Amino acid sequence: MKPHRTPLAKMKILNGAHELSVHNLNRRDDSFTLHYTISPPLPDAADHAPVLLALDAMDDVGNEYFDWGGAHGPAPDGTHTNGSITAQPALAAKACEIRMRIAFLHGGQEHPCHLMLRTAATRA
């Protein structure tokens, strides 16, 4: 994934050592997927403890969403990590905002971050 010029959200993560940029929120019939980049890239899992992600969320009309899996890996140029994480069920049609808690699990510790995205702007 090539990073977009203006991310939907941007924040420091993992004790400020990395920056998470959210680029896309794709709706599906049964789920939604968040596409992101992390700079500098996450440590190589072959050489270091892996960094895992977990997501849970709630929209502004009270619906809850739970992690359904994801994947991440180094960008071809090595400058950042590309990733995506999916949650279920599908975003409610009436939801305008979604508040997410993304937990980065690394070295036996949880490093949570919280973000809010407008969902109305993501409708095709």
The two tokens of residue 113 are 């971050």
Identity of the amino acid at 2 = K
In this predicted structure, what is the pLDDT of residue 122?
A: 47
Residue 96 identity (one-letter amino acid): C
Share of the chain above pLDDT 90, in %: 77
Q: Can you give the pLDDT at residue 88?
A: 97
Query: What pTM was computed for the model?
Result: 0.87
Q: What is the pLDDT of residues 82-108, one digit of tens each?
A: 999 999 999 999 999 999 999 999 888
| pLDDT score recorded for residue 5 | 66
If we measure between CA atoms, which residue out of 39, 37, 38, 40 comes closest to residue 23? 37
